[in-house]
Amino acid sequence: MAGVRRDGSLMREKGGHSFRGSRIAAAVAIGVLLGCVCAFAFPNGFFSPAPSMRNRRLSKSDLEGRTQDLSISMLKTDSMRLTEKNAELKKQVRDLTEKLRLIEQGKGHAQEQYVVSGEQPKAGPFGTVKSLRTLPTVLPDESVNPRLAKLLKKVAVRKELIVALANSNVQSMLEVWYTSIKKVGIPNYLVVALDDGIANLCQSNSVPFYKRDPDEGIDSVAKTGSNHAVSGLKFRILREFLQLGYSVLLSDVDIVYLQNPFDHLHRDSDVESMSDGHNNMTAYGYNDVFDEPAMGWARYAHTMRIWVYNSGFFYIRPTIPSIELLDRVAERLSRPPPAWDQAVFNEELFFPSHPGYIGLHAAKRTLDMYLFMNSKVLFKTVRKDANLKKLMPVIVHVNYHPDKLLRMKAVVEFYVNGKKDALDPFPDVVYERLAVSLMLICVVSACMYVESKMHEDVDPGWDSIGTML
């Protein structure tokens, strides 16, 4: 019986452990089941905001903020993309402009290579043969003037720039000159200051300038010389610019700039110059017939004529013929008899070789007289023509009139400030010369009157004139 009881108790204990294990398993299963139900029913947790509140916050604040951030990001991306595209387009424009410039120089570059290499080209078919339009430029030599070379690297654009010489005698005109250049937005220009006054003026007005090292021969003329004497210096000074490999647009200071001249040059010749001519014939050349009746049947002789180039405004490339031109003109102006630089400039440029003289082999081009306008064209023709008045010249050179500063200011008023009657008060011709002539007539008449008085044979008419004098 004792053994039976022991077995019974063992059975009870075994059954109790099994029952408790079943309850634990059931509890775990129920917990897992409830967890799955809660996870499915409450995916955002028991304490998350109500669905209506959450949706409202997303739609008004978070959604707006995210949209704004996205828009800003997109705008920044677009801006960067457009900036890069703009820079690329500018580069393409520069490249195309350079290619166009090279094309406009002519199709002679292949022929130039033949010349340089010493090979002889064959002549092509009829109508296809073209001579060289441009000569190769010289090899730059910075040892000529290291200080100027360093300055030109900062000032010049594509190895070219405007250069003007000035001393204190032309300060007022120089101020109008560089003001017009700044107004147009031309960056590549330089004033060669011939005295300290001009150097100080340029420095105080942020005008690029260059003052040469002391040179007794040049300084004496630069400080005290007349306009013509100073004009003669430019041929000596320009030589250094060309030796350094730079093309120069030489400019007098009695010029008003209205457009960038570098946009209107052809660069197909050694020298491109404005003309003193006033119409198509005089500016570009014409066949002039000389009549000599004493020759009978051969009384008519045909001559080719052109009005001179203006030595106060021309573009010159750094070629051997160009440097030879400067040397020839400077040499002739340095020795007696005194000569006008413009006359010498044209003689050396145009006179052909003949017995006892070797002419200059330089290519030349006459610039458009309505774009590069002299004051005779402006005041005698353009201002009186309704259609021509609408044209915008590149520059106006007040070279035909002595009242330069007044007319320069009038040009600015007319073309820049739009004052339509700014040019009207000025006469076509220079009455000042007429006044001088009348004064000379009066002096001569007075001398004649005094002489006749001394001989006591005064004509009554002379007596009345003497009284008037």
User: Does the pLDDT of residue 132 top 90, yes or no?
Assistant: no
Query: Which of 45-54, 208-217, 287-296, 403-412 is the least confident region?
Result: 45-54
Q: Per the structure block, which two tokens stand in for 256?
A: 């008003």
**What are the structural domains of the chain?**
146-279+308-417 (3.90.550.10)
Q: Kindly give the interhelix angle for 227-243 and 216-224, rounded to the nearest 10 degrees.
A: 140
Q: Average pLDDT for residues 284-289, to the nearest whole number?
A: 96
Can you tell me the mean pLDDT for 285-310?
Answer: 96
Taking the C-alpha atoms of residue 202 and residue 210, their distance in angstroms, rounded to an integer, is 10
Average the pLDDT over 73-83 and give the result.
Answer: 82
Nearest CA to 248 out of 184, 350, 326 is that of 326
Is 331 a residue whose pLDDT tops 80? yes
Instruction: Compute CA distances 101 → 61, 185, 211, 303, whole Å.
Output: 59, 21, 32, 35
- Give percent of the chain with pLDDT exceeding 70: 72
Percentage helix, strand, coil, to 5, in the chain?
Answer: 55, 15, 30
pLDDT confidence tier of residue 28, bands split at 50, 70 and 90: confident
- Tens of pLDDT, residue by residue over 388-419, are 999 999 999 999 999 999 999 999 999 999 99
- pLDDT at position 255, please? 98
Mean pLDDT of 441-463: 53
